[in-house]
């Protein structure tokens, strides 16, 4: 919002775009992770987590009255800024509806699968450089499954929980903990930390 609003993009549109994109990221990661989830109880847990998030978005998008009442309550108590933030969030959630059509859904899901599929393939390349012989399907699904664990932990970027999940899943395949830790750190450096570095560089460029 800091950089798009001055360019004439409404705050609620930024929120709508961000939430819609992240929602389909979550669905794409679930589909990729489900390739290697053999335990029914684990799959049901992951599915329920993603479904709860998506259903909550749909509920507030179609029935914004609850958030509107919360905003009005803060407004009556004189918390104008808080009321405005909640109202903007409410409008952002309602804005998701403009993309609820077959074309946009297919486009968002398709691009999400490609993006996260390439990340999973990058993890496969890293494992091959480390000389690890993990079954292809299992290795391909490890990073998406770890990302879901990171999302479920509610920690920023899944910091810590994602790495632990990668190490645990590789350990199940007979990989030594030290080597599994190198793989976990390596893929995180190549993904989230590289993205953070790019983000900081972008912030500096945009500020000047």
pLDDT digits over 154-201, tens only?
777 778 888 898 998 888 888 898 899 999 999 999 998 999 999 999
Instruction: Give the global pTM.
Output: 0.83
Residue 156: per-residue pLDDT? 74
- CA-based radius of gyration for the chain: 20
Residue 75: per-residue pLDDT? 84
The number of domains in the chain is 1
Residue 14: per-residue pLDDT? 92
The 10 Å CB-count burial string (b at 16+, else e) for 35-73 is ebbeeeeeeeebeebbeebeeebeebbeebeebeebbee
Q: Is 136 helix (H, G, I), strand (E, B) or coil?
A: helix
Domain region containing 120: 5-207
Whole-number Cα distances in Å, 20 to 14, 70, 105, 199: 10, 23, 9, 20
| Both structure tokens of 167 | 């190490």
Enumerate residue ranges in the chain where pLDDT < 70: 38-39
| Both structure tokens of 196 | 């953070």
């Amino acid at each position: 919002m800091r950089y798009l609003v001055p360019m004439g993009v409404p705050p609620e549109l930024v929120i709508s775009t961000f939430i819609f994109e992240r929602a389909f990221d979550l669905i794409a990661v679930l589909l990729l992770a489900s390739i290697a989830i053999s335990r029914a109880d684990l799959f049901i847990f992951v599915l329920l987590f993603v479904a709860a998030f998506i259903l909550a978005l749909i509920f507030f998008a179609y029935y914004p009255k609850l958030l509107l009442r919360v905003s009005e309550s803060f407004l009556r108590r004189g918390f104008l800024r808080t009321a405005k933030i909640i109202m903007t969030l409410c409008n952002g959630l309602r804005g998701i509806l403009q993309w609820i059509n077959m074309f946009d859904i297919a486009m968002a899901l398709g691009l999400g699968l490609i993006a996260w599929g390439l990340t999973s393939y990058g993890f496969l390349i890293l494992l091959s450089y480390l000389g690890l012989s993990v079954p292809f399907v299992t290795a391909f699904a490890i990073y998406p499954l770890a990302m879901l664990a990171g999302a479920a932990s509610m920690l920023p970027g899944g910091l810590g929980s994602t790495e632990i999940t990668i190490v645990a899943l590789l350990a199940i395949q007979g990989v030594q903990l030290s080597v599994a830790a190198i793989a976990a750190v390596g893929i995180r450096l190549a993904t989230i930390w590289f993205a953070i570095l790019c983000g900081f560089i972008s912030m500096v460029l945009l500020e000047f």
